[in-house]
Amino acid sequence: MSLGKMIGDKNNDLYMKIDKQKVPEHVAIIMDGNGRWATKKGLPRSFGHKQGVNVLKEIIKVSKNLGCKVLTVYAFSTENWTRPTKEVNFLINLFSEVLKNEIKKINEESTKIKFIGNLTPFPENLKKIISSSESLTKNNNEFLFNVCVNYGGRQEIVKVAKELALKSSSGKIKPSAIDEELFNSELLTRGIKDPELLIRTSGEKRLSNFLLWQLAYSEIYISDVLWPEFNENEFLKAIIDYQSRNRRFGGIESLPNESFKDSQCSS
């Protein structure tokens, strides 16, 4: 039975191209293009953000159906505070509204929700909603949905460096004990497998300070589609492209009949 038929999807052509044994366990997404989509249509930017939420709901469903275990999205960066106050306030209110309306369904679907970032600047009512949402879903283990809010990759790395320096200076750890494993244990994503695949929409080709440590060996897929127009088919295209890659993690496949010998350059 094809994967498309197995999950009851009408778009069998794309699903049939997917190897269900090679679906990435963890997918990260930079959801870019909400404002541009709205502007192109002569609508307020807020319409783009609302439509972006609808798209996210669809992508969560598709990623679950495919067998992904973790989805991490970039919802609000540390740099987003520089946007107009009216837009920032709208986004904060949208976070609250969506969480209140969706958390029951999220929990019923055995999804765990985790917020990654510095929550301190957010209003108390939003922080309470976030806390209660995480508490309600903390024991769910079918799917992990990470929402990065007021998050910056550089800031996270600096924070970890400071924490390790403090532990070292206080004698809790030796400097020689600091390695990648220890560094990982201090990250906001500790205990979560690094993403195998990063998807960025809108055609922009940059990381925008997102999961800089965690994305070191991730495959990157750039979609020219603006996030409010991203859909199931576009997500499937990203998965198919990912499965066509040969992930070498900096190494190479063995080269038959080829040897490397010490050589001496002559002038």
Convert the pLDDT of each residue in 143-197 to its tens digit: 999 999 999 999 999 999 999 999 999 999 999 999 999 999 999 999 999 999 9
CATH superfamily of 23-152+194-243: Decaprenyl diphosphate synthase-like (3.40.1180.10)
pLDDT value at residue 6: 46
Give Cα separations from 113 to 94, 136, 254 (angstroms): 17, 9, 42
**Average pLDDT of 24-48?**
98
Binding site for Mg(2+), by residue number, is 32, 219
**Average pLDDT of the residues in 76-102:** 97
User: For residue 84, what pLDDT is reported?
Assistant: 96
pLDDT band at 37 (very low <50, low <70, confident <90, very high): very high
Which residue ranges make up each domain of the chain?
23-152+194-243
In the predicted structure, residue 243 carries a pLDDT above the cut 50: yes
30-39, 208-217, 240-249: segment of lowest average pLDDT = 240-249
Binding-site annotation, residues for substrate? 33-37, 45, 49, 77-79, 81, 83, 200, 206-208
Binding site, by residue number, is 32-37, 45, 49, 77-79, 81, 83, 200, 206-208, 219
* 3 state DSSP class of 221: strand
Please identify every residue annotated as catalytic: 32, 80
Tens of pLDDT along 42-66? 999 999 999 999 999 999 999 999 9
**Are the beta carbons of 16 and 5 closer than 8 angstroms?**
no
Whole-number pLDDT of residue 237? 98
pLDDT at position 154: 98
pLDDT of residue 1: 41
- Report the predicted TM-score, pTM, of the whole model to 2 decimal places: 0.89
